[in-house]
Structure 1
Amino acid sequence: MPCPAPCPLSGRQDLSPSTPALPPGLADRGGWLSDTRRFVLVHCVTFSDAAKASAPGGRMTQFQRLVCLANSRKGGGRCVAGVLVDSGEWVRPVSARINHEISRQERQYKDGSDPRVLDIIDVPLLHHQPSCYQSENWLLDPRSHWQRAGRAEWSQLLTMEQHPDSLWINGHSTPGRLNDRIPIEETETLPDSLKLIRVSRITLRAPTPRAGSDDAKRPLDAVFRHAGRLYIMRVTDPEYEQPHVNNPRRVHELGESFVTVSLGEEFKGYAYKLAASITERARIEAGSKT
C-alpha cells in the first residue's frame, strides 16, 4: 500500500553547509561534543578534500557524525538510526532497495566489524530521502566505509532523552500486545518515526514455545510504561532478541533503560511500533557495552 499522503516536513533542517549550533542542554554538559563538533565543521560542513567522495550519479557524499541509537533487525538486513551530534536531529540511513534495509557490507567499518549502539559514527550520506512519516530517512552512500569515532556514555544519553506525551497515536493493538500499531491512514500528520525515551523498568517477555515451532523466529516483546501509559511491543534489538528468546526463562526484568522506539514501514495496513534498541544503565555502568 502506498503512503497515504506526503508528510509535512516543515521545520526540518537540511544537512547542507551552515553554521551548526549545539542542541539545547548540550553546551553545558562538560564539553564532550567539542572535538566532535569541530570535526563536523571541518569535514562535513565545509566539505574538505577528505570528505569529497565520488558518489553514484555525481552526488556529493556528506560524512555526518551521529550517536548510534539503534542497529535493529529488519528483514535480511538492519535498520540503523542515531542522533546527529551537532544538531540533535535524528537520522536513519537507508539503502536504495525497496525495503530500505542496510546490508552488513553497507554498514560495516573498514575492519569488517559491525556498528554497535552507543558508537559515535561518521556515516556517508547522499541526500535527504523522507518517506511519509519516516522523515528521518537519508540515502547512504554504499561505496564508503562507516568510521567509528568513539563511544557515548549514559550521561550523553541523558542529554538526548525525549519526553513525548505519548508514542504517537495510541488505542490500536495487535492480539497479545498493547498500543503497538497505528492504522496507516492515521499516520498522515505524524512528523517523525523515532523516539528515545527513558523508562524506570522494562519486562522482556518471550512466548511459550509451541510444538514444532522454530524458536529462532519467535518474537520477543517489551513491556513498559511511559507517560502513564502501558505499551507492549515487539523487540527488534538483536542484542536482546536472540539471547532472551532462547533462554528457558520466559520473563526477564530489566532496570532503568533507554528505549529507542521506531515506527516501522507500513505492513498490512498498519505502522508498527518497535523497540528497536534497549540500553540498560546497569550494563553500561558495568562496562558490558564498551
Structure 2
Amino acid sequence: MHEVKMLCMANSWKHQERCIAGLLKNGTWVRPVSTAQGGAITEDQCQLDVGRPIQPLDLVRLPIEKAAPILHQPENQLIANKPWLLLKEKKAENNKVVSLLTRSEHKKDTLFGTEDDKISWSSIERQGLAESLVLVRAVGPYFRRKRTWSGRTQIRSGFTFAGTDYDLPVTFEASHILQEGKNFTQSSSDWWFTVSLGGAFRPYGYQEKYCYMLIAGAIEIPN
C-alpha cells in the first residue's frame, strides 16, 4: 500500500454510487475504484476524515492498494481500506491550482482519438486506450435539459474543442448551474471540464457496445 496526494476534479454518479477522479501534482490522472474490475466508490468510502464527502478541489491524501487498470480505464487505482484525509480545501483562484490545471489541459486535436461522442468496444479491444480522463477548457459552454429515450431527464453540456462540437451528458450534481425549472442556460464563463469515458453498454437499437464520453466534473475558470 502507498498514499498519494490527489486534487479532486470529479465526484459524479455511477450506478447510484460515486465515480471519483483527480490529478496528482505532476498532472497524472487517478481514478479511485473499489474493486480491481473498476467498481464504483460508495458514499461511505469517499467520506473524508472531517465528516463530509470529497468534493472538487479538495486536496486529499488517498490510500492506494495497487494500480488496477482495465481496458477502457487505464487510470484506475484500487483504494485501500483506510480513511481519506483532507489536506486542504483549494479554490479555483489559487495560483497553484490555476497553474496545475492549465498545464493539464488536453492538448490533442480530438477527445480520445475521435470526433464522435463514443468509442466502439471493438475498437477499444483492438487498439486499447492510452487514457480515459482528460481536462478540457470549454469556452462559454451551454447547459440544457433533455429527455432521453427511456423517459428520464438528463442534463447535457455543449462546447467546441479543436473545431469539433460536442454535446455530452453531465453526471455530477449540476443544480447550481442549471436551476430547477430552467431548460437551458448559456454560460458567460469558461470552464474546466473533466471528460471521462463511461463503461461499455449497448444502446437501444444498436448491435454493438460503446463507451460514451461524459462530463464527470466542472470547475468555473476565474476571470
Q: TM range, normalised to the smaller chain?
A: 0.7 to 0.9
Shift of 1:88: 2.0
Provide the rounded CA distance (Å) in 1 between the counterparts of 2:159 and 2:197: 17
Which residue identity is paired with 1:247? E
Q: Do the aligned partners of 2:9 and 2:21 also contact (CA within 8 Å) in 1? A: yes
- Between the two structures, name the one with larger relative contact order (CA 8 Å, sep ≥ 6): 2
The 5 A counterparts of 1:1-290 are 61-85=1-25, 87-96=26-35, 100-141=39-80, 143-150=81-88, 151-154=90-93, 155-156=98-99, 157-170=101-114, 179-187=116-124, 188-207=127-146, 217-238=152-173, 240=174, 242-243=175-176, 247-254=180-187, 255-268=189-202, 269-282=209-222
Provide the rounded CA distance (Å) in 2 between the counterparts of 1:229 and 1:149: 38
Distance 1:113 1:99, change over 3 A: same
Which residue identity is paired with 2:114? N
Q: Do the aligned partners of 2:118 and 2:211 also contact (CA within 8 Å) in 1? A: yes
Shift of 1:273: 0.1
Q: Do the aligned partners of 2:32 and 2:76 also contact (CA within 8 Å) in 1? A: yes
Q: Do the aligned partners of 1:208 and 1:250 also contact (CA within 8 Å) in 2? A: no
Provide the rounded CA distance (Å) in 2 between the counterparts of 1:152 and 1:89: 20
Q: Do the aligned partners of 1:203 and 1:224 also contact (CA within 8 Å) in 2? A: yes
Provide the rounded CA distance (Å) in 1 between the counterparts of 2:212 and 2:45: 25
SS of 1:207 mapped into structure 2: strand
- Cα RMSD for the two superposed structures: 2.2
SS of 2:201 mapped into structure 1: coil
User: TM-score w.r.t. structure 2 length?
Assistant: 0.85
Q: Which runs of 5+ in 1 are unaligned?
A: 1-60, 172-178, 286-290
Q: Do the aligned partners of 1:69 and 1:260 also contact (CA within 8 Å) in 2? A: yes
Q: Which runs of 5+ in 2 are unaligned?
A: 203-208
Shift of 1:159: 2.8
User: TM-score w.r.t. structure 1 length?
Assistant: 0.66
Query: Stretches of 4+ moved more than 4 A in 1?
Result: 242-246
Distance 1:209 1:167, change over 3 A: closer
Q: In proportion to residue count, which structure has more strand?
A: 2
Residue 206 of structure 2 aligns with which residue?
none
Shift of 1:100: 0.9
Shift of 1:153: 3.0
Deviations 1:37-94 (A, max 9, x none): xxxxxxxxxxxxxxxxxxxxxxxx2110011111111112111111111x32111110
Distance 1:208 1:219, change over 3 A: closer
Which residue identity is paired with 1:219? Q
Q: In proportion to residue count, which structure has more helix?
A: 1
